[in-house]
Structure 1
Amino acid sequence: MTHEGKEPVIFQNSSEPNVISHDLLVNLVIDQGPRGEAGKLFQEDGIKLEEVKEIRIEYLNILNINHLWVMKNLVKLKLCSNIIEKIENLEELVNLKELDLSFNRISVMENLNHLLNLEILLLYGNKIEEVEGIDDLAKLQILSLGKNVIKTQDHVMYLRKFKNLRSFNMEGNPCTEEEGYLDYLIAYIPQIVYLQYKMITEEQRKNSAEKYYRAISNLEEKEAKEKEIMDAKKAFEDHVAQVSISYVEYLDGDHLFDQMFESDKEGRALMSLNEETEEAYEQYKRTFSEQCHELFELGLKEQERRTEEIRLYEETVNKGKEDAQKEAQLLMDKVMERKTEIFSQVSSLMEAIEDSDAPDLQEKILQAKNLSEEFEDLISKTWTKLMHKEITLHEQLEDINEVFKINMSDLVSSFFEAAQGHFSAMRNAETEYNDNLTLMVTNFMNNFGDEADVPPEFQEICGSKDILTNNFGASHEMHLQVIDGREDRMIGRLKSWLEALTEEQIEEERRRNRNQVLEISHFLEFQREEFNKLQERREAQINEDDANVLAALED
């Protein structure tokens, strides 16, 4: 339910600005939580703000949005009817689906783009002048901006891209008073079903579409072309991303080959010496590029194998965790069931023990003591069973991690061996080309008889045997450095990835194990403390009753 259509009622007497604090949040959660016995149990379990899904912070003169980062699992947040001036500090609320900031003093739509799961955004009754700052909220279904100060119709084209938008309210803004506004909006945002909280009729939709038919047709044609370009761009980016994680980026074309000649001025000049050298160059390029392409295809296949290995690993690990969790939950349920029975029996016995004239007083005291011992024994045995299960699971997961590491290392090593074969073939092709080109250029030089007879245009690259030897040596070394560098980068990156992956898996299991051990200990310790508090309360009640009886006798 929204607040739209009526002015807010402020229940706070003071007009002083208020702040969101931990205590305020806890009090609101308690106030908005379950009532009666359920509410009592809710509070006794301890208020965990990080687990709260919904909260209303209304009519409290809140000036700044603050301290909400502790409520990371919030799905629904109502901050309406306050004096908030700026949208801020919501970065941690990534699970938020509904945000109500109606009836505040907000002038700018900002700091909202990270709320990717937001479906409902209510900003009714603020001071907003422009619809902006929500470009990434693709899941948005309901948007209310009524009673703001939006003057232009620019927001219509802005909101056209929100394909999931179904309900939109702009009532009370200056822009709605312009002639033809509603037809313009209905025509250009056809996905909207409800406008100002009234369903758009088929007649309205038809009339609006007819009025803007030509303009809409031109726009749709333009959008189709833009979409085609964007789809192609995304496909290319996806392709680059895929080959990047396969470690064979830029090997599906002539990039590596061209890179060898990029800074090799002499090499380019030598290969274009005559038709024979040019033909040798083209043959070298074909041979080299074939090796690159084969390596590229191999990289993609090997990435698929690694991805499948990771999938099987995660499936095995998750199943192990889920099975262990189910077993632990069944054990916990039995403990909680027996705990409820023991608490009930102990409470009844302690009430009976208060009556000092009870005929079987000693027997009841003994029964209460036995129940207390039984509960302590239950907690101890449960702790032992749960710890045994956790130790077993931890050892199993460590073994799985080790097997995964071995399997993945084997896959990576196999890829390295095959890749090194391709790089070796590239180096061989380069050496063969260099040798062939040396022979061709030498024969070319011999045609002139004397070095002085070499044409001026060839003097710089092959004017003498020393120049020729130096140029071929430099070109050969430069090409090998490019090939070796690409090989080293591939192997280095893949090794680093594998090392980081396996280390993270080991550390993740260590964290999970530590947290689980602490959780088991804390849970059972809490049960023990709860039982002790029950006994202490009853004992305190007995002592109080005894004191009251004694005081009455003295009077």
Structure 2
Amino acid sequence: MSQLYNSIEPNIIDDEMVQKAIEEQCPEDIGKLAKREGINLKDVTELQLGFRNILQIDNLWQFENLTKLQLDNNIIEKIEALESLVHLVWLDLSFNNIEVIEGLDTLVKLQDLSLYNNRISKIEHMDTLQELQIFSIGKNNLTTLEDVIYLRRFKNLRTLNLMGNPLCHDEQYTLFVVAHLPDLVYLDFKLVSDTTREVAVLKYQDLTEPLEREEAQALAQLEEKQAKQKELEYHKRLDEIHSASSYDIAESKRAEYKEDILQLSEALMTLEMLIADQLEELIKDFKGNIAVIASTFIENVKGIITQCRDLENRHHEKLLEISITTLEKSVKNQLDEDLPADVRMLLVDKNTIVNAVNASHGIRLLKIAKRESDILCNTYRWQASVTEKAFQNEIDRNRDRVREIVQYIDNLQEELDNIEILEPTE
């Protein structure tokens, strides 16, 4: 985009530019008021600084509550000076000359980031952007499909644009991206179809399954590390009580720590209640889905059983017709072949043969009915068992978790109570 500004001197964001931008984006009457009386920059939540030939980002530290920032269509070469914009949700740095992704560490609330049409060759330095939902990095210099794997850490990412990068020329591009980012909804402005997702998962499962195991292991290690860190902090606080310079200070620290333990207990119980409520809703949804599956299966079974009965009725009619014909030929000694003795026993008269065929028909219908009943009963039992097990597992999990919290808090309290604070001797 810089070629559009070859005859214009590059700019740095200064007070005059910022003030002018605020006045321009305000309604006319408010803009005039802002120009006359000024405006508190802390009240500004959106700022548009596109098409201003900006070379260097600067002078934005006063916008403490900014949530949306447009810096598109400039000649910016480096992402910098955004550290104070901690409330930023939307950032547009498209159509610039940026070569490296950096300077975004403090933007932990960022949900929508556009780096479209720059000179970036690697996706990196974005680890803290865990709220990221929309990411546009099309028309850059990304060359290898493996760069996409970095984006797996963003569990909320649903929309991704990579269009215009060299890596898009790979014939496996779409399947590779969809397989490695299973929660993606839109890729390059197109909805990811279920068919594409299924094909991608099957094609790359040998690559994605090890990644999933590694990520699970890394998460477990991180949780263990955090737990150890908390334990160290806990013992450090106990040491502070031991090493207090006076009895009053030690008692004060003990009382402070007791209050912290109480708050921790309340926080853990509150979180457990939230989890329990969320799981209850999920289990209700699960129960509904199981009911739909069971109902669909039952309807299919009933359809098949109906076909079986129709086939049996047609078989019965045909068998009855053949039997009567055979009886008539037997009476006239016109049978072409000898029949088994047990069959000849039935060829006495019409009533005998009809009764025998009807009895056989009735037995087969009973077997079909029993088979239907068995399948339906087993399906209903399975449905009840699966849903009851889900509910019971959640009840057990909740009880275990509450018991664990209580025990943990009791242990903390007991250890605190067991600390002896010696009164100073005179």
Stretches of structure 2 lacking an aligned partner (at least 5 in a row): 244-250, 265-415
Structure 1 residues 198 and 241: CA distance shift in structure 2, 3 A: farther
What amino acid maps onto 2:66 in structure 1? L
Deviation at 1:302, TM superposition (A): 4.1
Which residue of 122, 133, 150 maps to 2:142?
150
Q: 1:417 to 1:299 in 2, by over 3 A?
A: farther
For the 8 Å contact 1:49–1:71, the answer to whether it is kept is yes
Query: Aligned equivalents of 1:67 and 1:300: distance in 2?
Result: 43
SS at match of 2:179: helix
What's the CA shift for 1:172? Answer: 0.4
Query: Among residues 17, 21, 24, which one is paired with 1:24 in the alignment?
Result: 17
* Match status 1:305 vs 2:258: yes
Q: Give, in whole Å, the separation in 1 of the partners of 2:44 and 2:14.
A: 15
**Identical-residue share of aligned pairs (%):** 36
Alignment correspondent of 2:297: none
Write out per-residue CA displacement over residues 411-452 of structure 1, whole angstroms, 9 at most, x where no aligned residue: xxxx9996334999xxxxxxxxxxxxxxxxxxxxxxxxxxxx
Q: 2:74 aligns with which of 79, 82, 85?
A: 82
Which of the residues 211, 219, 225 maps onto 1:227?
A: 219
Specify the alignment match of 2:298 in structure 1: none
Three-state SS of the structure 1 residue aligned to 2:183 is coil
Q: Is the 8 A contact 2:9 2:53 kept in 1?
A: yes
CA distance in 1, matches of 2:6, 2:151: 40
Say whether residues 1:169 and 2:161 are aligned partners: yes
Deviations 1:498-524 (A, max 9, x none): xxxxxxxxxxxxxxxxxxxxxxxxxxx
Figure out how many residues of one structure are paired with residues of the other and give that number. 267
Matching of residues 34-433 of structure 1 within 5 Å = 34-36=27-29, 38-247=30-239, 302-307=255-260, 419-421=420-422
Give the unaligned 5+ runs of structure 1.
1-6, 257-297, 312-414, 425-555
What amino acid sits opposite 1:19 in the alignment?
I
Q: What CA distance in whole angstroms lies between the structure 1 residues aligned with 2:166 and 2:191?
A: 22
Report the CA distance shift for 1:8/1:27 in structure 2 as closer, same or farther (over 3 A): same
C-alpha distance in structure 2 between counterparts of 1:61 and 1:176, whole Å = 30
- Distance in 2 separating the partners of 1:124 and 1:170: 9
Deviation at 1:225, TM superposition (A): 2.6
CA distance in 2, matches of 1:9, 1:35: 32
Letter in 1 for 2:194: E
Q: CA deviation at 1:195?
A: 0.7
- Offset, 1:62: 0.9
Partner-residue secondary structure (3-state), 1:63: strand
Distance 1:35 1:246 in 2: 61
* Aligned 8 A contact 1:107 1:129 in 2: yes
Between the aligned partners of 2:126 and 2:176, the Cα distance in structure 1 is 21
Separation in structure 2 between the aligned mates of residue 164 and residue 154 of structure 1, nearest angstrom: 20
* 1:68, distance to aligned residue in structure 2 (A): 1.3
Q: Structure 2 vs 1, CA of residues 200 and 310 (structure 1 numbering), >3 Å: closer, same or farther? A: closer
Q: Cα offset for 1:241?
A: 2.5
Between the aligned partners of 2:252 and 2:214, the Cα distance in structure 1 is 39
Contact 2:111 2:134 in 1 (8 A): yes
Q: Deviations over 1:380-438 (max 9, x none)?
A: xxxxxxxxxxxxxxxxxxxxxxxxxxxxxxxxxxx9996334999xxxxxxxxxxxxxx
Please give the root-mean-square deviation of Cα atoms over the aligned residues, in Å.
Answer: 3.4
1:170/1:13 Cα in 2 relative to 1: closer, same or farther (>3 Å)? Answer: closer
Deviation track 1:238-268 (CA, whole Å, cap 9, x = no partner) reads 222233344469x9xxxx9xxxxxxxxxxxx
C-alpha distance in 2 between matches for 1:423 and 1:189 = 64
Give 1:9 shift. Answer: 11
Instruction: Give the conservation status (yes or no) of the 8 Å contact 1:130–1:150.
Output: yes
- Write the deviation string for residues 334-390 of structure 1: whole angstroms up to 9, x where unpaired: xxxxxxxxxxxxxxxxxxxxxxxxxxxxxxxxxxxxxxxxxxxxxxxxxxxxxxxxx
In 2 relative to 1, CA 299–217 (structure 1 residues): closer, same or farther, beyond 3 Å? farther
Counterpart of 1:142 in structure 2: which amino acid?
Answer: I
Give the TM-score taking structure 1 as reference length: 0.44
Tell me, what secondary structure is at the counterpart of 1:55?
A: strand
Q: How far did residue 46 of structure 1 move?
A: 2.3
Could you report, residue by residue, the CA deviation over 1:307-350 in whole angstroms, capped at 9, with x for unpaired residues?
38999xxxxxxxxxxxxxxxxxxxxxxxxxxxxxxxxxxxxxxx
Higher helix proportion, which one? 1
Task: Describe the SS at the equivalent of 2:54.
Answer: coil
Contact 1:34/1:42 (<8 A) preserved: no
Post-superposition offset of 1:44: 4.6
Task: Say whether the 8 Å CA contact 2:12–2:54 is kept in structure 1.
Answer: yes
